[in-house]
Amino acid sequence: MLDVLIKGGEVHDGTGGKSIKANIGVKEGKIVEISNATYDAKNVLDATGLIVSPGFVDLHTHSDFTLAANGRAESQVHQGVTTEVVGQCGVSCAPARSNSDIALMSPGFIEGAVNANWRSFGDYLDHLDKTPLGVNVAAFVGHGTIHRAVVGDALRPADEDEMDKMAILLDESIEGGAYGFSTGLEYWPGSLASPDQLADLAKVAAKHDVLYATHVRNRDLFYDLGFGEAISTARAANAKLQISHIQPKFGAPEYAMQHAIDMCEQARGHGVDVAFDVIPHDWSHTHVIAILPQWAREGGVEKVRERLKDNDIREKIKRNPRPMWRLVNSNGWNKIVLMQSEANKDLVGMSFDDIGRRRNTNPYDAVFDLLLEEEAVNMNHLMWTSQSFNNGDIKLALEQPECAVISDTQALAPYGCLKHHIGSLSGYGWAARFLSHYVREQGILTLEEGIRRITSLPAERVGITNRGLIQEGAAADITVFDATLIKSHASVKTPRKYATGIAHVLVNGGICMHNGARTEVDSGKVLRPH
């Protein structure tokens, strides 16, 4: 007897090929039957008129800590996601020298949410292993986290001895279960690293045949320098390269997206294994503290707080000609929205134009004030979002067959310790928005190809085997949805709205969604490459 039989659905296998009408049989967490036959099963799921797809694979997330705090991954499971890849943009939960390092570096950190006492990368994965998970988790190790574990708060690149130690930590982390190595070169401490240093570390990733993923140094005015550096680093290291969220930001020339695509295509022609991904949304998000120039962040959080209390230093920061978001230089505060704050939860969802008016202060000063009002441990986790992407650029990227689709967000829940988290406007609806807006409404991709971009393509790129496809013997990660109804309801005003249109979700054969409702089943697992 089967554990689960999914009857009468339109089956898309994840390869981008034509669908077939078939029943899917599941037993002991595996797909064992794809046919028109009917078998006895403990659970029968009616998929008549619905799409049966591999579970969605989110190639790029920052759920490292939120999954440790609440592994049910409500925001993701409700939109059909069955696997997340955490540890992106150079930031991961491990390796760490101390609990304070974990607090400062862990994406989505929440004070007191869990007993965060891991040190090695393997320790962190072991911690997740003991956590009930609604999704499977594959993890990258972040350059910034490794740098901090060796160099600490010093505002300088690693020296030769420190680089040797970082390479050892990276090697140990990959041996401990990391699927790849990531950098965030717009952020401290990634911004301190030279191309030579990045290539030396990427060589460690290449030795293990794992992916090197990078948030490039520039995506606005000097976008071509950032993308060029990423490609040259991968070439020098002979590493497989994934350019994270490739779409240029506000301030880049109109031709930047096409130029970036051309650069990647030319590099592939010369033997560089390079691909990229996009966020299916014109809103971008990051840490508020990233607005500060490097010199203002030297010495750690307490030194930052001292500087932000000094009006002369504030004025000097305001004169920074190259803030991370060029919207700031254009006074585009109406397009910049507070997304996460522990100290000022009542302001979350408001633009900095509105926050400035409410507080009777300049929006830039409001930024400094909000940073100061956070507890030291939370300053690094204050988040904001801006409307800084171009939908035309997203369309152009999606037209490239090597482009995956990602959330760039966190697994969340509108209750418990995560109830005030937003992460980004993609958090509750990235996959649903992609399939509804870009596939169904705009017709940029066929449904078959759209499914491939969020199933087999990201799984294969990361090196996750036996997932992302519907085939006999594969893990039973399956999403059943209504292609005419799937929709994101998240917006600036209502960011915590679940997506709709998902009927059933299976993770390793466990039924995590049934008839559009979340069950109590959490059958995800930590994935390791070895």
Per-residue pLDDT at 493 exceeds 80: no
Asked if the structure places residue 470 within a domain, the reply is no
Burial letters 401-417, b for 16+ CB under 10 A, else e? ebbbbbbbbbbbbeeee
Q: What is the mean pLDDT of the segment spanning 486-495?
A: 88
Q: Do 453 and 311 share a structural domain?
A: no
- CB count within 10 Å of CB 524 equals 28
Answer with the one of 322, 349, 383 that is the final residue of a domain.
383
Res 456 pLDDT > 80 = yes
The answer to whether residues 303 and 168 belong to one domain is: no
pTM of the model: 0.93
Q: Is residue 526 part of a domain?
A: no
Mean pLDDT, to the nearest integer, of 444-449? 98
| Rounded CA separation 512/136 (Å) | 12
Mean pLDDT (the chain, rounded): 94
pLDDT at 180: 98
Contacts 24+ apart (CB under 8 A), 228-232: 228/263, 229/185, 229/195, 229/198, 230/274, 231/263, 231/264, 231/267, 231/272, 231/274, 232/195, 232/199
* Largest distance between two CA atoms of the chain: 76
The number of domains in the chain is 3
Residues 49-97 have pLDDT tens digits of 999 999 999 999 999 999 999 999 999 999 999 999 999 999 999 999 9
What is the average per-residue pLDDT within 219-230? 95
Is residue 529 domain-resident? no
Q: Is 47 helix (H, G, I), strand (E, B) or coil?
A: coil
Give the percent of the chain with pLDDT over 70.
Answer: 100
pLDDT value of residue 323: 83
Q: Are 33 and 472 in contact (CB under 8 A)?
A: yes
pLDDT tens column, 4-24: 999 999 999 999 999 999 999
Do 126 and 241 belong together in one domain?
A: yes
426 and 338, same domain (yes or no): no
User: Residues 99, 231: one domain?
Assistant: yes
Same domain, 184 and 69: yes
pLDDT at 453 over 90: yes
* Within a domain: 482: yes
Q: What are the structure tokens assigned to 314, written together?
A: 């504030």
Whether residue 60 sits in one domain with residue 34: no
Domain boundary, last residue among 360, 383, 406 = 383
**Same-domain check for residues 135 and 261:** yes
Q: Which domain holds residue 28?
A: 2-53+475-518
Amino acid 15: pLDDT: 98
Of 161-165, 201-205, 257-261, 292-296, minimum mean pLDDT range: 292-296
DSSP state, residue 134: S
Please tell me whether residues 86 and 118 are part of one structural domain: yes
Quote the pLDDT of residue 230: 98
Q: How confident is the model at residue 326 (pLDDT cuts 50, 70, 90)?
A: confident
pLDDT, position 381 = 77
What is the CATH number for 22? 2.30.40.10
> What CATH number corresponds to the domain at position 142?
3.20.20.140
Q: Are residues 271 and 127 in the same domain?
A: yes
Half-sphere exposure of 270 (CA within 13 A, CB side): 11
Calculate the CA 285 to chain-centre distance.
11
Q: Residue 322: which pLDDT band, with cuts at 50, 70 and 90?
A: confident
* pLDDT > 90: percent of the chain: 80
* Cα gap 458→375, rounded to integer Å: 37
**Quick one: CA dihedral 15, 408, 95, 195, positive or negative?**
positive
- pLDDT tier for residue 420 given thresholds of 50, 70 and 90: confident
pLDDT digits (tens, 9 = 90+) for 358-401: 999 999 999 999 999 998 777 877 888 888 889 999 999 999 99
Domain final position from 359, 383, 407: 383
Element (H, E) at 461: helix 456-462
> Looking at residue 321, what is its pLDDT?
85
pLDDT of residue 38: 87
Q: Looking at the structure, do residues 277 and 316 belong to the same domain, yes or no?
A: no
Residue 337 in this model has a pLDDT that exceeds 80: yes
Alpha-carbon distance of 409 to 381, in angstroms, equals: 13
Q: Is 388 helix (H, G, I), strand (E, B) or coil?
A: coil
Q: What is the pLDDT of residue 379?
A: 83
Tokens linked to 42: 């403990």
Which tokens belong to 7? 């009857």
Does residue 123 have a pLDDT over 90?
A: yes
Which residues lie closer than 8 Å to 505 by C-beta, 6 or more apart? 55, 77, 80, 82, 478, 479, 480, 511, 512, 513
- Domain check: are 379 and 258 in the same one? no
